[in-house]
Amino acid sequence: MVQPGARLRALMKQGCVALPGAFNGLVGRLVAEAGFDGCYVSGGAVSAAVGCPDIGLLTLEGFTRVIHDVTTSSGLPCIADADTGFGEGEMVTKTVWEYHRAGAAGLHIEDQVFPKRCGHLDGKALIPTIDMAAKVGRARRASDACSDGTFIVCARTDARAVEGMQAAVARAKAYVEAGADMIFPEGLHTESEFAEFASHMKGLRGDAPDGGPFLLANMTEFGKTPMLPLSTYAMMGYHCVIFPVTTLRVAMKPVQEMLATLREKGTVEEWLPKMYSRQELYSSLRYTPGVEWTYPSKTKE
């Protein structure tokens, strides 16, 4: 069986991979059903789905439960958010092992001070570069031990908003030297900044097709980054693009509107044509009433 990390690496060598966010197993199924080759588990979306802000409140176990549900239901390779690594030193090691056991293809850890905040908010603070590099080194050794190095270690830097672009590049280079397979520059403001950052990565160590580490871009809505298509990121040298909270946002707006209708009218009959029907649900679940359903019945094998 090919390890999830190896599968995603192979896909990224063929082209830029779109990774829609999946905040539970059913959304993971829908991502696979729509024809995507991978998915993403966002800390912001998972936190919101349990009614909490994205400030590092969820536990390692809370994340791995969602990762397991998403990867088991979808059959897709998945990159998962690990915030600041759930602690120092040995917790970073444990996080890699537990994410790998849960089925993730890789994770990203960030260089913010805990408690962290969303990467597109102001007021962030960073830990020293040497401390983050030590975390990356821990993650690298854990990946080597648990997956023969196939599990992807992605280092996210939030330095653009705190210390400037040059510092973001310098930090990324240090993280690559420490063992990162992939770099995630968070909160870049323009297309030219993405292109500039990518150009600095090409001469570094790494397995990306054009040299250097793999690069991840964050296409979140309502943030610092302009809305850019996947093709533009591919042209600039990025190997995967996450859409972290998109599925949650488009799902919850109709829920909010439907609840207002129910409160006002006492019925949701007008919403029936807009609903995900019973038959559509059963189809996504690969379930036929009266026929034995076999676990896990992944959407993609």
> Where in the sequence numbering do the catalytic residues fall?
40, 54, 81, 83, 108, 110, 118, 156, 186, 218
User: What sign does the dihedral 209-214-215-220 (CA atoms) show?
Assistant: positive
Q: How much is the CA Rg of the chain, to the nearest whole Å?
A: 19
Task: State the Cα–Cα distance between residues 110 and 130, nearest whole angstrom.
Answer: 13
Query: CA-CA-CA-CA torsion for 58, 130, 105, 100, nearest 10 degrees?
Result: -60
- Which pair of tokens denotes residue 25? 């197993």
Angle at Cα 293 formed by Cα 287 and Cα 299, nearest 5°?
Answer: 60
Which residues, at least 6 apart from 182, have a Cβ–Cβ distance to it below 8 Å? 106, 108, 152, 153, 154, 155, 213, 214, 215, 216, 239
CB 122, CB 147: distance < 8 Å: no
Two tokens at 76?
A: 């897709």
